[in-house]
Structure 1
């Protein structure tokens, strides 16, 4: 049985994820992407229209399964009553780290890409990322505010932004290597440690 051949569009998206994840948007030239993808600028213009449009398509593709899983988990929790903060934090964090768990090297590339773009120095690029992730993330923020009535909405929003940032740092592998006992070499253990840390932060660090 023959292995399906990657289309030019798929090659461009795959290389864009890798290169943008490694060098950021401004630090990655369109030429570097096209050379690595065995394509040319005309192919980018044909399939996407521009470098920014290529990035937008890569973000949309990378975020789709994460958004879908986060939405599914949130709806399941809400259907069961009033979700606890720990349940909401876990349902938000795990899909972002499961990319690495389920898809090996490919997942690591996508997770690093998402983590890098989510907090890119350029406001325009952050807004582009937010356009793909904001709808479901806004629902999680609202649910956390309802689950933490003892904290002010602004305090919960502050905690939520920091949760996003910490997750992105782990996804992009921007944090310095830690001892194996901490669990950063095992995505499953990392998820559990990160959830435990965040639950404690929300429980004890957010005061009205």
Structure 2
């Protein structure tokens, strides 16, 4: 039986093609699909045969135009500065706006499930408030700590023994510190489940 899906993405460059690919595959299987996205993506969304819906209060950006890019990570002086811009301008800072827009769209036109790009924590909050199933579409390496895996980022091999597990606990704490400054401490998603 066909279902209705609401996808949520942002003008983050590399995240867009995989999100639209999954959305298009669902549409080709007969499901209803619409995509909450920055207006700069609407032609690309429509070109994929999908219905585009604009964010109304969440940030509107255009990664192809440096003047309209929301993050402007190219202005940061350090990798930590680049991370802080992503955290503050997409993931955490405007999370309430993404939540508001997602919930408003779901109230106006209900969906059976929300599929959101993993950086849009606010979209998940809106979907949860609507009481529908949620799916996080991770379009890159999973960036959050996962039980039994080494901390993301430094490329460490899996821990072996007590010393390795201690290393992972300490490194994970260090990796989470920058999230705390952005108010995302409690918003970090849970570890993924495998089927």
Give the TM-score normalised by the residue count of structure 2: 0.30
Answer 1 or 2: which has greater helix percent: 1
Whose RCO is larger (CA < 8 A, sep 6+)? 1
Give the TM-score normalised by the residue count of structure 1: 0.29
